[in-house]
A = this chain, B = another copy of it.
């Protein structure tokens, strides 16, 4: 499911027990270093907003981030909220499964909706010259 898109990037939700999003660039690149510098800056700015809202909504034990692309050599960033009782913790979700827990997590719908609003506001609103810094975002939520 696509939860956000603009002319340069889109974000897909992975079907998982965990809050797990993937950031793609619209134009494919093999490695991070192949991307234009401006797009890389935007990618990390998007990552920052996703991480912020993931922490805010789920209060996870840890955020995990990864970029592989071994099967399809196209940069995309995985962002996963991890909990100490999730099925793989403390292993990466690509590692050995350790248990079978039913997690009782807050609604993904609300998370996706607020994240979409924050990203739209930052990147696609008419007031695009009014970008918020991370510290402003933190102050508002505190």
Q: Are A134 and B91 in contact (CB under 8 A)?
A: no
Q: What is the total number of residues of chain A having a CB less than 8 Å from a CB of chain B?
A: 33
- Closest residue on chain B to residue A70 by CB atoms: B90
**In the complex, chain A residues 19-56 whose Cβ is within 8 Å of any chain B Cβ:** 30-33, 37, 40, 44, 47-48, 51-52, 55
Copies of this polypeptide in the complex: 2
20 contacts between A and B (CB under 8 A): A31-B51, A31-B55, A32-B47, A32-B63, A33-B48, A33-B55, A33-B134, A62-B69, A64-B66, A65-B67, A66-B68, A66-B92, A70-B82, A70-B89, A70-B92, A71-B90, A91-B94, A92-B92, A92-B94, A95-B95
> What DSSP secondary structure best describes chain A's contact surface?
mixed
Residues on B with C-beta less than 8 A from A63 are 31-32
A binding-site residues for B, Cβ under 8 Å: 30-33, 37, 40, 44, 47-48, 51-52, 55, 61-71, 73, 82, 89-92, 94-95, 133-134
